[in-house]
Structure 1
Amino acid sequence: MTTPHSSFSNSFVLQRALLKPLGAVMLALCATVCATQSHAADLPVLKVGDQSLQTRGILEASGQLKDLPYKIEWFNFPAAQPLGEALNAGAVDVGGLGDAPLVFALAAGARARAVAATRSNPLDLAIVVGAHSPLNDAASLKGKRIATTRGSIGHYLALAALKKAGVPVSDVTFVFLAPADAKAALASGSVDAWSVWDPYTALGEARDHDRIIANGVGLSEGLSYQVATERAIADKRVQLADFLRRVAIGQRWALSHPDEVAAMQSKVTGLPTDVLKTVYQRGQVHPVAIDDSVVAAQQRTADTYEAANVIRAHLDVRTSFDRSFPLP
């Protein structure tokens, strides 16, 4: 016959038997979580600057952010100028800049070098006007006000387009604004044209029926770079090399998967999927090796800025490249 005492005793033993493995499991789980958190905390950090989350969107969509042996801290910028300033200040380790913004950043004293390059079809680089504007080409910009971001690829395009059309720079008024402010100025009529790049170009065409009166074909080299600080090149070389490899793989993948990239980019940025699909389809961004032709093209860009007094001194771009990161 079982007594209340023996019943209590058996129940206590049973609970101890059940709790013992449960406690072991909890301890093991805690150890795993703590070890994971400790491991994550111990991972080196690469600080990456991005523009309109374009690099991150490609890496996310192509699966290149999986199994990173380091941690990425993302810093998003609306245009190249503030990203260049962040590189100059050492606030980011690496970031994407167009050829003209790289010249502008280097002229400002940035201790950074181009470590990877891409070419694109510069259809995405354009001078746009409102839907009902009477302007129809670069020559018609004489006497007009052109919005752009100082030192940007838009600034470069405007200078090159005016030169080709035979319009002296002194015959136009540049209004230097961030993209959001430039768009508002164009919409309100405070400026006559806006020299800009995708995704802003595509968004303006789709949403506001802006018209392109000139694009970068035949005027822009179509070059962009991943630019790293000299400190990052020295101190985070392993992480930087891995990141550049993943970016190149992602860019090649994106060429044949515009729908997937646009869908992922839309989730990240909130921009319409159809607009982003236009961006990727017409840009055709693809990685290229940093060779003598790339360096020569970059020198032409620097010389154009020098001739227009955007930069005050001659810049020899050869020292602004690091060719030690091979193209995968």
Structure 2
Amino acid sequence: MNPHHNPSRRQLLARCLAVAVALPAFSLQARAQGRPVLKAGDQKGGLRALLEAAGGLEGLGYDIQWSEFPAAAPLAEALNAAAVDSGPIGDAPLIFALAAGTRVKAIGANRSDSYGTAVLVRPDSPLKTAADLKGKSIATNRGSIGHYVTLKAITAAGLKPEEVNIRFLAPADAKLALTQGSVDAWATWEPYTALAEVSRHARVLVSGRGLLPGLSYLAATDAAIAAKRPVLQDFLQRVVKAQLWSYRNVDAYSAALARIIGIPPEAAKLQFERRQQRWVSIDAQVIADQQGTADFYRQVGLIKQPLDVKGTFDTGFGVAG
């Protein structure tokens, strides 16, 4: 487990394009016409679904080339390889990206209820508490918020990281491993948690509520910030406005989200309503909470050097609704 391992740019680009579902059909024409192009990375149920549902993509002065990733780690690799300019990323995956030398900054921050970032077990599992995970196998993505909540949960229960067996699997593979019984638990995030609950494939053993600060970010590469700052500012502002719209139109947004990402409406509404996501200013508390995450990862040995997070934020982007 070495977050400092930094594959070549060519390897990273190949890997991220292998997992991304890119929609670049109009990008060459757009460049020919001189319109800026924002290469926007996304995760399932993320910014594209929100913007489309809210009508937030109307009247753009630039074109968007979307690439969807199954988790934050491959999105971070795409940022590192300059395959995307920007994308949504949780606090813990951002720490890994920065520790690996990715030239990226957080330009917008949001807070949400962390309940849906959770360790799940099968409905019939005998496990009742985080302490019961001793000696058990837990599937999650390396460096993800699922990885983070796993370590937070077990250390809070008095266990050491080496007392559990963490298996690094992508969400689809982790879900299958749990349902088939080849792992004891699956640490994941929304909308996967809500989907597992609604389908009764799993129950929450430990939630992130009270364990995690509930932070995630819109990150952008240093190169994109330098070359496309007005585009990034406009994009962030559209996301903030779309988020405000979504909470005024819960039923409409939940139905649109379910349709766009292909999950049952009740799962879409469950994860949306309990997250209560709000975009916030990058203030001293945000930076302090992010420093706490970096310090925790250093404490448990997942990053090898202390990381001062202050320089990893660009506070010049507004999030006024």
TM-score, with structure 1 as normaliser? 0.87
How far has the Cα of 1:39 moved from its partner?
9.4
Give the Cα separation in 2 of the matches to 1:267 and 1:44: 29
Q: 2:40 is paired with a residue of what secondary structure? A: strand
Matching residue of 2:10: none
Query: Which residue, out of 73, 92, 101, partners 2:65?
Result: 73
Give the Cα separation in 2 of the matches to 1:234 and 1:270: 36
Matching residue of 1:185: 177
Query: Which residue, out of 92, 98, 109, partners 1:106?
Result: 98
Q: Which amino acid aligns with 2:48?
A: R
Q: Is the aligned partner of 1:130 residue 2:134?
A: no
**Aligned-pair Cα RMSD in Å:** 1.3
Q: Is the aligned partner of 1:220 residue 2:212?
A: yes
Give the Cα separation in 2 of the matches to 1:172 and 1:292: 34
> Contact conserved, 1:138 with 1:214, CA < 8 A, in 2?
yes
Give the Cα separation in 1 of the matches to 2:252 and 2:232: 26
Q: Is the aligned partner of 1:44 residue 2:4?
A: no
> Contact conserved, 1:262 with 1:280, CA < 8 A, in 2?
yes
Structure 1 unmatched runs, 5+: 1-36
Q: Is the aligned partner of 1:302 residue 2:321?
A: no
Q: Which amino acid aligns with 1:300?
A: G
Query: Which residue, out of 297, 306, 312, partners 2:304?
Result: 312
Q: 2:131 is paired with a residue of what secondary structure? A: helix
Give the Cα separation in 2 of the matches to 1:314 and 1:105: 14
Q: 1:121 is paired with a residue of what secondary structure? A: coil
Q: Is the aligned partner of 1:233 residue 2:225?
A: yes
How far has the Cα of 1:306 moved from its partner?
0.9
| Structure with greater proportional helix content | 1
Matching residue of 1:89: 81
Q: 2:125 is paired with a residue of what secondary structure? A: coil
Give the Cα separation in 2 of the matches to 1:192 and 1:246: 41
Superposition pairs for residues 1-328 of structure 1, below 5 Å? 41-328=33-320
> Contact conserved, 2:30 with 2:36, CA < 8 A, in 1?
no
Give the Cα separation in 1 of the matches to 2:81 and 2:30: 30
Change over 3 Å in CA distance of 1:40–1:68 after alignment to 2 = farther
Give the Cα separation in 2 of the matches to 1:118 and 1:104: 19
Q: 2:307 is paired with a residue of what secondary structure? A: coil
Give the Cα separation in 1 of the matches to 2:100 and 2:182: 30
Give the Cα separation in 2 of the matches to 1:266 and 1:230: 34
Q: Which amino acid aligns with 2:254?
A: A
> Contact conserved, 1:255 with 1:286, CA < 8 A, in 2?
no
Give the Cα separation in 2 of the matches to 1:127 and 1:257: 30
Residue deviations 1:256-291 (CA, integer Å, cap 9, x gap): 322222222222221111111111100011100000
> Contact conserved, 1:53 with 1:76, CA < 8 A, in 2?
no
Which has the greater radius of gyration? 1
TM-score, with structure 2 as normaliser? 0.89
What is the number of equivalent residue pairs in this alignment?
292
Q: 1:208 is paired with a residue of what secondary structure? A: coil
Give the Cα separation in 1 of the matches to 2:121 and 2:170: 17
Change over 3 Å in CA distance of 1:159–1:81 after alignment to 2 = same
